[in-house]
Structure 1
């Protein structure tokens, strides 16, 4: 079916007090696994390409973006394409011509005034191109920069440290002054968690939901248990970002396969196992986020 927009999917979810799952993709196997998993769950999905993924692909956005667009157009469920955690203005300006309908502009590592100024400029440009834009306020934590370096402008705070959480009053002003369409909020999740032990601050989420009129986004969702994810969606989260969970599924499945088949050299044999594991993970997460499981 035709590629849809992130704004459309998030808007539908917000109206239904539900959420849409958004998965970060790195390889073609990620793309195929996300689409297959979403089809199995019969639910829409967002394919996300991060700035780190673009760096990994020699700084070239189009090869992975075009693969994602082709997969979306042949999918049996609605699929949107989102450019995630962008700091480079050059990369931001490639989004509109590469099939993306939305972008997450990340200046959250900067002091508030600088974050606001940079995000306002990005939002003005994005809206002029017809793009939906997401920003982040507070520090979700755990996010590495290019080549795995932690963000350098300011050390990342622990998810539970004073000042890490998103303040509702500050968030209201930030959204009004920046003009963004959605806000990623820091309520206790952490990027790149490999265990599902995050405990969210649901009281803070309730206050944020009451203070803001734009959709709320949860980053670092791989480390959030199913019950916490369900509660977050009920509490107002409308877009749930997932990345590490796919890499855990893929790497674990490939590691197990190669341990059992040390003679294997055909990459299709172990990549297919990794792709299937990711697809199962996608199906499970999509069902939880969309409210398809009790």
Structure 2
């Protein structure tokens, strides 16, 4: 089916008080696993390519993006493509012609005024290209002369009044908020500030995004959706599943040299993780649509 757009998926989710799961991809196995897991759960999904993933691929966006587009167009559920945590304006400007319908522009490490100016310029450009744009706001930087606090640093929190002003002045379509999650957690022990989430949901009229969701236990994930989060970003959980499955396979088959064997079990483990996360969020559907006969 044609590529879905992130904006359409999140708008519908916001209307139904549900959430869309968005998974970061690094390899073709990630792409295939996310789509397989979403098809198993019967629900739309967002494939995310981060600036770090582009750097890993030698700074080239198109090979992974084109693979993702090709796979998404054959999927039995709606799939959108999102460019994540972009700090490079040069990379940002590749999004419109590479199949992406949305970008997350990350200037959250700058002092507030600089973050706002950079994000406003990025939003103006994105909207001129028909792209939907997400930004991030943690604790406002520069307080008492100190440096900005990263939105995912321990203790970072998004102030509702500042967030309302930031969204209005920047023109972004969604906002990632700091409410207690942290990127790259390998244990599921994070706890969210649910009172703050409630106040943010009341203060803002754009979809709210939760980054660093791999570190949250199931109950925190479902409570986040109930509290008003519309997009749930997951990355590290896929890498944990893939790496663990490959380690187990190679331990059991020390003479294995065919990469298809261990990449296959890694891909399967990631697909199971995707389906599990979607079911935890409570957004699983009745199942995927059947593939057309030509999709052999």
Residue in 1 aligned with 2:157?
Answer: 165
Residue in 2 aligned with 1:187?
Answer: 179
The yes-or-no answer on 1:241 pairing with 2:233 is: yes
Residue in 1 aligned with 2:104?
Answer: 104
- Partner SS for 2:46: strand
Of 245, 248, 251, which residue of structure 2 is paired with 1:253? 245
TM-score (norm 2): 0.92
TM-score (norm 1): 0.92
> Gaps (5+ residues) in structure 2?
140-146, 286-296
CA contact (8 A) 1:103 1:134 kept: yes
Structure 1 position 179, deviation (Å): 0.1
- The two structures, once aligned, show a CA RMSD in angstroms of 1.3
Residue in 1 aligned with 2:78?
Answer: 78
CA contact (8 A) 1:10 1:238 kept: yes
* Residues 100, 158 of structure 1: alpha-carbon distance in 2 compared, 3 angstrom cutoff: closer
Residue in 2 aligned with 1:90?
Answer: 90
The 5 A counterparts of 1:1-294 are 1-138=1-138, 154=148, 156=150, 159-161=153-155, 164-292=156-284
- Partner SS for 2:29: helix
Separation of aligned partners in 1, 2:152 and 2:274: 27
How many residues are paired up? 278
- Partner SS for 1:175: helix
Separation of aligned partners in 1, 2:69 and 2:282: 23
Structure 1 position 157, deviation (Å): 7.0
Separation of aligned partners in 2, 1:136 and 1:157: 7
Structure 1 position 154, deviation (Å): 4.9
Q: Deviations for 1:112-140, whole angstroms, at most 9, x for unmatched residues?
A: 1110000000000000000000000006x
Separation of aligned partners in 2, 1:235 and 1:217: 12
CA contact (8 A) 1:230 1:288 kept: yes
* Residues 156, 183 of structure 1: alpha-carbon distance in 2 compared, 3 angstrom cutoff: closer
CA contact (8 A) 2:6 2:81 kept: yes
CA contact (8 A) 1:43 1:290 kept: no
Separation of aligned partners in 1, 2:63 and 2:151: 34
